[in-house]
Amino acid sequence: MKDVKLADGIYWVGAIDWDIRFCGSYTTPIGTTYNAYLILDEKNVLIDTVKTGFHSELLERIRNIIDPSEIDYVIVNHTEKDHAGALLEVMRESKDAEIVISDKGKESLLKYYGAWPARAVDTGDALKIGERTLTFIKAQMLHWPDNMCTYSEKEGILFSNDPFGQHIASSERFDDEIPSEKLMEHAARYFAAIVMPYSAVVLKKIGEIKNMGIRINAIAPAHGLIWRKAPEKIIEAYAKWASGEAENKAVIIYDTMWSSTAEMAKLISRGMEKNNIQVRLFNLRNSDWTEIAKEVMESKAVLVGSPALNSGMYPTVAGFLHYIRGLRPRNKMWFAFSSYGWGGGAVKAIKEELSRGRFQVIDTLEVKYAPGKKDIEECYRFGEDIAAMIRGEDK
Ligand code: FEO
């Protein structure tokens, strides 16, 4: 097993989960990693552990470098089971190690894992471990109340835990080892599915870290690759995503009963494409909701289509709207469309559901039965009008 070194005396000792395809509430199409880091100094420190069941890989990597009984501190940046799930085994092996954790983490530690000696730390608190001093920065609600980051001033490494992660299982460990587009694609999926609801906190925290005046040479998250070449790139991307800045793109999300709503979706998309707006269509029957969440985050316009069913919308559309409402995407232009046979009701239901998230529907389009010649023109024009709005032109 090859040691993975971030700097002299600092090692990645995590685990790779090639198999996971669904984690909590989002998809992980190429798996993930659970990153843990070992710092050797006068006092040896383990930052985070790994998911429950992956302890053997973690301990084997540690044993390649030191005996686990030589660990003095275990920093628990986050108590969720993908990072603290191996605490029982680590504490058994490290014997007298002291846990360092946020105050909220200390509460959940006891409930989830066990009653070990634990030191609660706050933002700005420091732990001198020899030639290094580690400083703690609380990151409440990024994405749990207990999240915190640990900063090593000597190397300028921020051990950020969940923030700045990506779900990528790979044999590479650093940002300069895989194509940048692939890395950013996965970082965007991760942000949309996990971090987006806390966008206001992200902006506040980025400002707070900038005000601390610390130098960040690398960001070592708890999932995926380590940002050593361009840590500023992911900080800039987080600032952009959290502010709701989007591309001149649209996303059409729909379900269909007898293909009429699907036909509307395609006609509307042609009206946008003709006007040079990039658009992606997702039929909710066979699409990945995490991928859709990323597209929603990156798009200025979101169009939701449903056939009418029992005077309302389709259950798939209702479920998805409930999901996306919770993710709180910012600054979107919302639109609704539907085909119906007799009473309708889907557009009204879509509007009502979106209004619960304070998302305002700008325009709607309904077609009775299958789209005829006049409806086809209307769908196309609907797309053209939305394209103009995306470009910031008057409708
Ligand atoms: Fe909040 Fe990666 O766990």
pLDDT at site 395: 58
Query: The tokens of 240 are what?
Result: 């952009």
How much is the pLDDT for 40? 98
Domain ranges of the chain: 4-243, 250-390
* Among candidate residues 328, 329, 254, the one with its CA nearest the CA of residue 299: 329
Instruction: Tell me the CA–centroid distance for residue 33 and ligand 1, in Å.
Output: 11
CB-based contact 122:150 (threshold 8 Å): no
CA of 99 to the centre of ligand 1 (A): 18
Fold adopted by 4-243: Metallo-beta-lactamase; Chain A (3.60.15)
Q: Which protein residues touch ligand 1 with a CB less than 6 Å away?
A: 78, 80, 82-83, 143-144, 162, 222-223
Q: Put the strands of the sheet holding 148-152 in their side by side order.
A: 126-128, 133-138, 148-152, 157-161, 218-221
Most confident of the ranges 113-122, 145-154, 205-214: 145-154
Instruction: Please state the pTM of the whole predicted model.
Output: 0.96
**CA 333/CA 195 separation, integer angstroms:** 21
Q: Look up the CATH superfamily of 250-390.
A: Flavodoxin domain (3.40.50.360)
**Quick one: which atom of ligand 1 is closest to the CA of 223?**
2
Helical H segments across the chain, by residue range: 55-63, 81-84, 87-94, 103-112, 180-190, 199-212, 231-243, 260-273, 289-298, 315-327, 346-356, 373-390
Ligand 1: residue whose CA is nearest its atom 1 = 80
Q: What is the pLDDT of residues 247-257, one digit of tens each?
A: 999 999 999 99
pLDDT tens track for 222-235: 999 999 999 999 99
49-77: pLDDT as tens digits: 999 999 999 999 999 999 999 999 999 99
Q: What is the CA radius of gyration of the chain?
A: 24
CA–centroid distance, residue 34 to ligand 1 (Å): 9
Contact between 28 and 19 under an 8 Å Cβ cutoff? The reply is no
Give pLDDT, residue 394: 65
Q: Are 76 and 82 in contact (CB under 8 A)?
A: no
Q: Which atom of ligand 1 is nearest to the CA of 144?
A: 1
